[in-house]
Structure 1
Amino acid sequence: MSIGALDAMTAYGRALGVGAEQGIGGLGENAAAATPKGAGGFGTMVESLVGTTAAALRTAESAGVKQVAGKGDLIDVVTAMGAAETALDTVVAVRDRMVSAYSEIMRLQI
């Protein structure tokens, strides 16, 4: 899965809740003014993303346990597993982009 720079900026802007009125990811000359008060930045977004993914994985696991015990519905298990897989794919894609950016920064000459 390949994520372009524009897609990444747009997703980052949406995660922060900015950019609806500013255009692409809320980035531009008024980016500082467009950032909502209390927004923690990239670290807060990653923390939220990891927390949401962990919750989706726990939900999928509990749905699977209920199905094995005969108390759950197979459709609920499949839906929960799909949501957990999508969330995990997103976290992996963000991690890969972060590692790639770090590697590129480390290759820069000072």
Structure 2
Amino acid sequence: MQISAHAASNAYAATMQSAATGDDGVSDGISQSATGSDFGSVLSQAVSGAIQSGHSAESLAAQGISGGGDMTQIVTAVSQAQLALQTTTVVRDRMVQAYQDVMRMSI
């Protein structure tokens, strides 16, 4: 399965916006806008949001296994966590590639 960075970024942004507005009833801890003043803080907030999304999906899945919880919320939370992981992986790969490109440049 090929996922472009642009498509993953758009999908993740849409997921963040719907989660921040409470459309699905699952909060992943990401505010509506990234308030960081630099790239590092924005990236840190995105990673924190991905981690929080994973924790949320894990707790809802545990509730589902024990017979509680709404199946729609569980599936939505797991899908959001999967999308966050895919996006994080794409960003990491792009950053590694950019670093390797810079290191290959001649001075």
Taking structure 1 as the reference length, the TM-score comes to 0.65
Is 1:98 equivalent to 2:95 in the alignment? yes
Shift, 1:3, TM fit: 2.9
The aligned amino acid for 2:99 is Y
Aligned-residue offset at 1:93 = 1.1
Matches within 5 A, 1:48-59: 48-59=45-56
What residue in structure 1 maps to residue 28 of structure 2?
none
Q: Higher relative contact order at CA 8 Å, sep ≥6: structure 1 or structure 2?
A: 2
Q: How many residues align?
A: 81
1:69 to partner: Cα distance: 1.0
Structure 1 CA distance, aligned partners of 2:38 and 2:87? Answer: 18
> Structure 1: which 5+ runs fail to align?
15-37
Deviation string 1:40-64 (CA, Å, 9 cap, x unpaired) is 3110111001000011000100000
Largest Rg, 1 or 2: 1
Q: What is the aligned-residue RMSD (CA, Å)?
A: 2.3
Distance 1:42 1:75 in 2: 34
Runs of 4+ with >4 A deviation: none
TM-score by length of 2: 0.67
Sequence identity (%): 35
Counterpart in the other structure of 2:68: 71
2:97 pairs with 1:89: no
SS of aligned partner of 2:5: coil
Greater Cα shift, 100-109 or 73-82: 73-82
